[in-house]
Amino acid sequence: MGLWGTGRQRSDTELLAAHVAGDRHAFAELFRRHHRQLYRLARLTSLSREDADDAFQDAMLSAHRSAGSFRCDAAVGTWLHRIVLNACLDRLRRTQARPTVPFQDVHPVADRTSHVDTAIVVQRALLRLPIQQRAAVVAVDMHGYSVAETARLLGVPEGTVKSRCARGRTKLAYLLGYLEMIGAT
């Protein structure tokens, strides 16, 4: 039976409120519910696994500490998504502000399944998009957020999200070779 005695699962909002009220286990449950999607977002918007791990950890600590400031003007999942995205963008900005060595594109040993090969190619292509386009494409096309939700997440007008998605998709198509194939037919 659930903690409320009814056997029902608490909503994300109820879990966040319980965490703020001192329930030591509520945030852990919220984390379990959203971990996979949020970590995937961190991986897609970071330059390396290490950066994704660090940004994800920073984001979860931030969410844990700032839960009391949640205003209920969006879904808890959307709020968490925004925190992870901001942590990744902050890490990317800090990385870009420091002098770096040129990126060495090391080709990993390819898995024999076409699914993994395709995922690697798409991941690399995504990393070549400007961060604003990548954030919009990932939110809309990979996480299923609407243009309006993505605009709120990124703090930009809906038209900006639409144009970033359109430009990002076009560049992805080019990077993945689809536009060249269409032109050759």
Answer whether 47's CB lies under 8 Å from 128's CB.
no
Answer whether 121's CB lies under 8 Å from 114's CB.
no
List the domains of the chain with CATH numbers. Answer: 10-103 (1.10.1740.10), 111-184 (1.10.10.10)
Which one is predicted more confidently, 94 or 145? 145
Answer whether 127's CB lies under 8 Å from 47's CB.
yes
pLDDT over 70 percentage in the chain: 80
Comparing C-alpha atoms, which of 166, 158, 103 is closest to residue 133?
166
Question: How confident is the model at residue 93, as a pLDDT?
Answer: 80
Question: How confident is the model at residue 99, as a pLDDT?
Answer: 54
How many angstroms separate the first and last alpha carbons of the chain?
Answer: 61
Comparing C-alpha atoms, which of 142, 141, 140 is closest to residue 150?
140
Which residue type, as a one-letter code, is found at position 16?
Answer: L
| Range with lowest mean pLDDT among 42-56, 150-164, 171-185 | 171-185
Write out pLDDT tens, residues 62-75. Answer: 999 998 888 887 78
Burial 138-163 (b: 16+ CB within 10 A, else e): bbbeebebebebbbbbbebeeebbee
pLDDT over 90 percentage in the chain: 44
* Mean pLDDT of the 41-65 span: 90
Question: How confident is the model at residue 122, as a pLDDT?
Answer: 80
CA 109-110-111 angle, to 5 degrees, is: 120
Give me the half-sphere count of Cα atoms (radius 13 Å) on the Cβ side of residue 15: 21
Question: How confident is the model at residue 185, as a pLDDT?
Answer: 46
Q: How far apart are CA 129 and CA 47, in angstroms?
A: 11
pLDDT category, 171, cuts 50, 70, 90?
Answer: very high
Answer whether 47's CB lies under 8 Å from 94's CB.
no
* Mean pLDDT of the 99-119 span: 57
Tokens at 97, concatenated:
């502000």
